[in-house]
Structure 1
Amino acid sequence: MGAFLDKPRTEKHNLHDEGNGLRYGLSSMQGWRVEMEDAHTAVLGLPAPGMTDWSFFAVYDGHAGSKVANYCSKHLLEHIMSASLGTQGGSTDDPPALAPPTVENIKTGIRTGFLKIDEHMRSFSDLRNGMDRSGSTAVGILMSPEHFFFVNCGDSRGVLYRNSNVCFSTLDHKPCNPRERERIQNAGGSVMIQRVNGSLAVSRALGDYDYKCVDGKGPTEQLVSPEPEVYEMVRAPEQDQFIVLACDGIWDVMTNEELCEFVKSRLEVSDDLERVCNEVVDTCLHKGSRDNMSVVLVCLPNAPKVSEEAVRKDAELNKYMESRVEEMLSRPGEEGFPDLVAVMRSLSTDIGMPPLPPGGGLASKRSVIEAVYNRLNPYREEDGNGAELEYHW
């Protein structure tokens, strides 16, 4: 959904913080889309008695507009807390609680919170009268000192990297999944070209009220359901390393394993989580992602640490690529200086190249290559012509 720009917008929004025994960083970028429709939530310490050592992170991938994603990023946690605690707020002004809610209360509260916020947003006049047809996926994690509660509604995805392996991943809600297809067909809809009624690419989402108006069907029985899947896991402090939440603009071009191996390799080079997230977003852009991109990285105490050996090897790789680009530009051929696409293609077949970052490959080093190319090529064009070719070498 959505039109594309002639050249991607690569400015990034970043955040980072630490607390409750974890560190997080995030990065979001508009990319090729004409509008930025992603949003996010990052809260260290929940505003309820006995829950200051809990945390919540989420990514929202909006479509057909940003209103639903933005509203959910500000208010979904409130609805979850209200449902979990059995209150209307869960603020620090509430009477002291005897204990945090139970695991079952949390799981029920998450589901109820999603249904409640979806019902609440339906009352907004522009969403009700069809002037705004936006919707949003949501993927998040609610973390207590003992448990992870992964939450997913749509095709954004969350993964847990534990003991140097992808231990867990949420499941994408796509219309072609048998269970989703059955609900869609029972509501009188169809799945064509892997989309709901040939149009919407996700089968669960918040908003999207054009797909939630089948008479006689409850909110979770509609063509598009706002019901999340909730996965509860007991934490393993000695093995848990990091969590990644990202929209499909990331997962479209990287598998769970590729992304986690790339993140691991970057954490061994830098402890700047914003930088690591920026590298993820840039790498996905250079791998061909055409969507908005957002990623939240939550590092736990056992996360990979910076390694002098990894830093040295990364510097050697950068130096090698710089020297190769200098070599190519020092001997222009009959047609003059090679363009950036030709340089990238030549490097991609270089058998002498030191090992590239796992999962990221040459695309993860494009900024290094481009910096040298731009510095040395006196004929570089600045007008943006051929921008798409340049990004899709």
Structure 2
Amino acid sequence: MGAFLDKPKTEKHTAHGGGNGLRFGLSSMQGWRVEMEDAHTAVLGLPDGLEDWSFFAVYDGHAGSRVANYCSQHLLEHITGSDGFRGDVVGPEPSVEAVKTGIRAGFLKIDDHMRSFSDLRNGLDRSGSTAVAVLLSPEHLYFINCGDSRALLCRHGQVRLSTQDHKPCDPREKERIQNAGGSVMIQRVNGSLAVSRALGDYDYKCVDGKGPTEQLVSPEPEVFEIARAPEDEFVVLACDGIWDVMSNEELCEFVKSRLEVCDDLERVCNSVVDTCLHKGSRDNMSVVLVCLPNGPKVSEEAVKKEAELDKYLESRIEEIMETSGEEGLPDLVHVMRNLSAENIPNLPPGGGLASKRSVIEAVYNRLNPHREEDGELEEAEEGSTTIHLLDALRQFRVSHRGQYRQVLEEALSVIRLPSETAEENAGDTAPSPSPPQSPAPGPQSAGGQPGGPSPTPPEDPKPSTV
């Protein structure tokens, strides 16, 4: 299996909340990865007189989840508790430079603090984590990034700001890595780590004579500050499992289109995660959506178009399945392939047909009489004939699609059932005296309960396989 499962784990962790004029939703999914290593933070109202501030973050762990989970619980307190965070407070909030200084100091402080953990210090845990966050004050947005998770601000329907990924091939990052005695091979630090900045990863932070921000991997974040504006609509924070299959513009457009048909932010985040899974993401996936006061509102026109799209997809799926003829019902892959070749109007921008996979599956399953119900195999006893039969039928439909009816009829014609064999055997031997008639036995249980032993069926003298 390597680092991946045989099939993705699609159960989601979700949450939502509101306050300070904001609404947020989040969703995370393990997906194809063997372990879930993502974590997140969502805080409305900070302590010590900053009740009108909020903080959101996504952490993408690697080689374990220890660092990501610890940071999700303690990074904020290291930021707000740093000496430089408040600085000389002149107005209603700390100065921009003081906040930036405090954020950088908080990252360095928590990274140094975690180094003292015995399992990390002794190499028993080699985990690390990226971190992307947004700190919202009444007047400013502070975008914080360390690694290759990413955040963006949608203003007036377009991407106004996005963080920059920290990759080893970036000229600035590569120069620091080489100055610390390392190299960049196959786009990785020393051919191993795919990010050039992260918390944890202490195997890459032990170069003598170099400070914490000069190591092969740096814990120093980049901080981007922007003044809030009435046109601000929403902020998205996500790990690279999302960005692997969606660009900034695609995700911005997709989220905007979903907010126009649904005001449930958890559902919107679930749509993002599901769509990215169907687009081919193989990583853990986490997304946090923060809607500002002027975020998109549900539109009757958008809801109507969405309903029309779903109805159109349903009719097209019916047509595709009805025209299959003697070739048999097409599988879901065939249906998706046909739909993807068409110019379907009003598909969600950025999401495309992948964002409608759940609708397509629901219609397909309703129209397919041979569909396998969820839990069908689970209800059958492990190792039973039912399991083997269902599996054989599944493989049979795949192997003989287009001619399975003819092949099945031919195969069935040579099968001899036990009852038929018994009748033949009875005709080949002399009849024996009939035993006395007795009342019909009751149900037979596994332990030889009343009802007598069940008869052993005669062996088929000509066993055959399909």
TM-score (norm 2): 0.78
Q: What is the DSSP-based 3-state SS (H/G/I as helix, E as strand, rest coil) of the residue aligned with 1:83?
A: coil
Given residue 334 of structure 2, which amino acid in structure 1 is its aligned partner?
Answer: A
2:32 match: secondary structure: strand
SS of 1:319's partner is helix
1:346 aligns with 2:345: no
Query: What is residue 38 of structure 1 aligned with on the other side?
Result: 38
Q: Deviations over 1:37-84 (max 9, x none)?
A: 0000000000112x1000000000000000000000000000001015
Query: Are 1:158 and 1:244, in contact at CA under 8 Å, matched by a contact in 2?
Result: yes
Q: Equivalents in 2 of 1:325, 1:30: separation in Å? A: 30
Matched, 1:291 2:290: no
**Equivalent residue for 1:52?**
51
> Aligned-pair distance for 1:333?
4.0
Q: In structure 1, which of residues 178, 189, 197 is the aligned counterpart of residue 190 of structure 2?
A: 197
Partner of 2:222: 229
For residue 359 of structure 1, what is the aligned residue in structure 2?
350
Matched with 1:302 is 294
Map of 2:135 onto structure 1: 142
Confirm whether residue 103 of structure 1 aligns to residue 102 of structure 2: no
Aligned-partner Cα distance in 2 for 1:378–1:36: 36
Partners of 2:232 and 2:85 in 1: CA distance:
31
Fraction of identical pairs, as percent: 79
When the two chains are superposed, the root-mean-square deviation of aligned CA atoms in Å is 2.0
Q: Which amino acid aligns with 1:129?
A: N
CA distance in 1, matches of 2:182, 2:313: 53
1:162 corresponds in structure 2 to 155
Q: Check 1:99–1:167 CA distance in 2 against 1; reply closer, same or farther (3 A cut).
A: closer
322-331 or 177-186: which moved more? 322-331
- Comparing 72-81 with 372-381, greater Cα deviation is found at 372-381
Aligned to 2:111: 118
Deviations 1:273-332 (A, max 9, x none): 000000000000000000000000000111111000000000000011111112222343
User: Whole-Å Cα distance in 2 between the matches of residues 223 and 316 of structure 1?
Assistant: 54
1:74-132 alpha-carbon deviations (Å, 9 max, x no partner):
00000001015669xxxxxxxxx996432211100000000000000000111111111
- Given that residues 84 and 101 in structure 1 are in contact (C-alpha distance below 8 angstroms), is that contact kept between their aligned partners in structure 2? no
Query: Does the 8 Å CA contact 2:85/2:103 hold for their aligned counterparts?
Result: no
Q: Aligned to 2:125, what secondary structure does the other structure show? A: coil
TM-score, normalised on structure 1? 0.92
Q: After superposition, what is the alpha-carbon deviation per residue over 1:197-216, rounded to whole angstroms, capped at 9, x for unaligned?
A: 11100000000011111111
Q: 1:94 matched to which residue of 2?
A: none
Aligned residues of 1:85 and 1:101 also touching (Cα < 8 A): no
Aligned to 1:91: none
Letter in structure 2 aligned against 1:33: R
CA distance in 1: counterparts of 2:138 and 2:312, whole angstroms:
45
Secondary structure of 1:155 counterpart: coil
8 Å contact from structure 1 (residues 84, 105) kept in 2: no
Work out the CA distance in 1 between the residues paired with 2:251 and 2:239: 13
Q: Contact (CA 8 Å) 1:46, 1:52: kept in 2 or not?
A: yes
Equivalenced residues, count: 375
Structure 1: which amino acid aligns with 2:23? Answer: R
- Over 3 Å counting, the alpha-carbon distance change for 1:256 and 1:98 in structure 2 is closer
Q: Secondary structure at 1:25's aligned position in 2?
A: strand
Contact (CA 8 Å) 1:150, 1:230: kept in 2 or not?
yes
Residue 151 of structure 1 corresponds to 144
Within the candidate set 273, 276, 294, 1:281 is matched to 273
Over residues 19-40 of structure 1, what are the superposed CA-to-partner deviations in whole Å (9 max), with x where a residue is unaligned? 1011111010000001000000
Q: Which has the greater radius of gyration?
A: 2
Long gaps (5+) in structure 1: 88-96, 387-393
Determine helix, strand or coil for the equivalent of 1:184.
helix
Tell me by how many angstroms 1:335 deviates: 3.5
What amino acid maps onto 2:47 in structure 1? P
- Distance verdict in 2 for CA 1:213–1:373, change over 3 Å: same
Amino acid at match of 1:167: R
Give me the whole-angstrom Cα distance separating, in 2, the residues matched to 1:83 and 1:152.
18
C-alpha deviation, 1:229, in angstroms: 0.2
Identify unmatched segments of 5+ residues in structure 2.
378-390, 396-466
SS in 2 for 1:26: strand
Q: Residue 290 of structure 1 aligns to a residue in which SS?
A: coil
Greater RCO, CA 8 A, separation 6+: 1
- Among 131, 140, 145, the residue aligned to 2:124: 131
Say whether the 8 Å CA contact 2:37–2:65 is kept in structure 1.
yes
SS of aligned partner of 2:290 = strand
Quote the Cα distance in structure 2 between the aligned partners of 1:223 and 1:361: 40
CA distance in 2, matches of 1:355, 1:234: 35
Partners in 2 of 1:38 and 1:333 — Cα distance?
47
Q: Find the counterpart in structure 1 of residue 246 from structure 2.
A: 254
Partner of 1:377: 368
Which residue matches 2:317? 325
The whole-number CA distance in structure 2 between the counterparts of 1:381 and 1:185 is: 55
